[in-house]
């Protein structure tokens, strides 16, 4: 079996609450995570909610990274979806864990586009 992509679901708890509400910081960290994992950034879109929270996506040639934050809970949900073998999605997760100050986190990987060859 071969998979076309790897999809990391990253749960970030006990994060820096101010960081989770800072649109510019979130955008910069997400783009850094994409670059540091070896991806080619094609574009991004981010939005800050009122009274709090940020959602955004970084589109990469290899798929995407997305984030949704709940500063009031110190929590962020992150997806790192990559295709091909030239990127390391775990590196992107490491950058986000570090830069958002997560003291408690977990990662689940899902193989996407699993193809069975005959």
Task: Give the catalytic positions in this structure.
Answer: 63, 68, 83
Dist. CA 26–CA 110, nearest whole Å: 24
CA 55 to chain centre: 11
Residue 33 near residue 92 (C-beta atoms within 8 A): yes
| 117, two tokens | 């060859």
Residues in the chain: 118
């Amino acid at each position: 079996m071969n998979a076309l992509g790897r999809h990391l679901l990253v749960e970030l708890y006990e994060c820096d609450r101010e960081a989770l509400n800072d649109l510019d910081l979130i955008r910069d960290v997400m783009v850094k995570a994409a670059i540091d994992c070896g991806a080619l950034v094609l574009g991004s879109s981010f939005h800050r909610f009122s009274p709090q929270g940020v959602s955004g996506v970084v589109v990469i040639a290899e798929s995407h990274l997305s984030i949704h934050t709940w500063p009031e809970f110190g929590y962020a949900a992150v997806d790192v979806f990559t295709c091909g073998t030239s990127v390391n999605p775990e590196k992107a997760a490491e950058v986000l864990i570090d830069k958002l100050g997560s003291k408690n986190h977990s990662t689940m990987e899902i193989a996407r586009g699993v193809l069975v060859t005959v």
